[in-house]
Amino acid sequence: MEANDIIKAQLLDARDLERTLHRMARQLVEMFAPDEDGAGRFGLIGMQTRGVYLARRLQRIMSEVDGIDVPLGVLDVTMYRDDFRMRMKQPVVRETKIDFDVDGRHLVLVDDVLYTGRTVRAGLDALTDLGRPASVHFLVIVDRGHRELPIKADFVGRKVPTLPGEEVRVRVQELDGKEGVWLVDHPNTEGNNA
């Protein structure tokens, strides 16, 4: 977890997370049928940082279960954030790498936690600057409520009502060395889950 985190509950363990991802992969295949017109009109966009790892899992499941190779891009929205005047130090700008043409494609943005909705708002702006997708859908592992913008996710792993001061931590093996979702108390949080 992070410094000062006090764990209150584990919401998903590694097996739960894997099952959730499998279910969501099924929903994506059902809705977009990327196996029928090739994967040419579909694309996953993982949002930095953990959304990238989660999108890779979905990509792998769709490859193993359905035999479809769907393209995957990486999106960093730091340049598009709207909390500019409230920050003391600038967050690190991470890589954006989308090697396919987004024009006319059905895109699914993948992130770990949906909170205020500001990150995905920035993500939509970033995507719009890269082209004109046919549609953009949004997939999150945890929707923790407290939206500040009229935004909702199309695919939700789990809805978790949270209190102010609480945070939801999604951790993945590849990056964190452990796997699962935790509800924690984080005093004086700056709200880095958005």
Partner 1 sequence: MTESTAHSENQPTEGGLKHRHLLGLEGYSAGEIHLILETARQFRDVLDRPIRRVPTLRGITVVNLFFEPSTRTRISFELAEKRLSADTVNFTASGSSVSKGETLKDTAQNIEAMKIDMVVLRHVSAGAPHFLTRCVDAVVINAGDGAHEHPTQALLDMLTISDHLGSLEGRNISIIGDILHSRVARSNIHGLLAVGANVTICGPNPLLPRHLEEMSPNGRVRVTHRLDEALEGADVAMALRIQMERQGRNLFPSTREYHEQYGIRLEHLDRYPDLLVMHPGPVNRGVELASEVVDHERAVILNQVTNGVAVRMAVLYLLSGSRVAE
Binding residues vs partner 1 (CB under 8 A): 1-2, 49, 76, 78-80, 84-90, 92-96, 125, 129-131, 175-177, 192
What is the Cα–Cα distance from 167 to 24, expressed in whole angstroms? 23
Q: List the one residue out of 150, 155, 144, 152 whose CA is nearest residue 189.
A: 144
Q: Least distance to partner 1 from the beta carbon of 56, Å? A: 17
Residue placing its CB nearer to partner 1 in the complex, 24 or 172: 172
The CB-of-101 to partner 1 minimum distance in angstroms stands at 10
CB of 26: closest distance to partner 1 in angstroms? 31
Minimum gap (Å) between residue 29 Cβ and partner 1: 30
The least CB distance from residue 66 to partner 1, in Å, is 32
| For partner 1, the closer CB: 61 or 127 | 127
Strand pairing report for 42-47 and 106-114? parallel
Nearer to partner 1, 35 or 125 (CB): 125
Q: How far is the CB of 128 from partner 1 (least distance, A)?
A: 8
Whole-angstrom distance, CA of residue 71 vs CA of residue 56: 10
Chain position carrying tokens 């939206």: 147
| Residue whose CB is less far from partner 1, 34 or 133 | 133
Shorter beta-carbon distance to partner 1: residue 30 or 84: 84
Q: Is the dihedral angle over the CA atoms 8, 6, 151, 135 positive or is it negative?
A: negative
Closest CA to 126 of 192, 92, 91, 76: 76
Q: How far apart are the first and last CA of the chain?
A: 17
Nearer to partner 1, 97 or 159 (CB): 97
Q: Which of 38-56 are b and which e, b meaning 16 or more Cβ less than 10 Å from the residue's Cβ?
A: ebebbbbbbbbebbbbbbb
The HSE-up count of residue 138 (CA atoms within 13 Å, CB side) is: 19
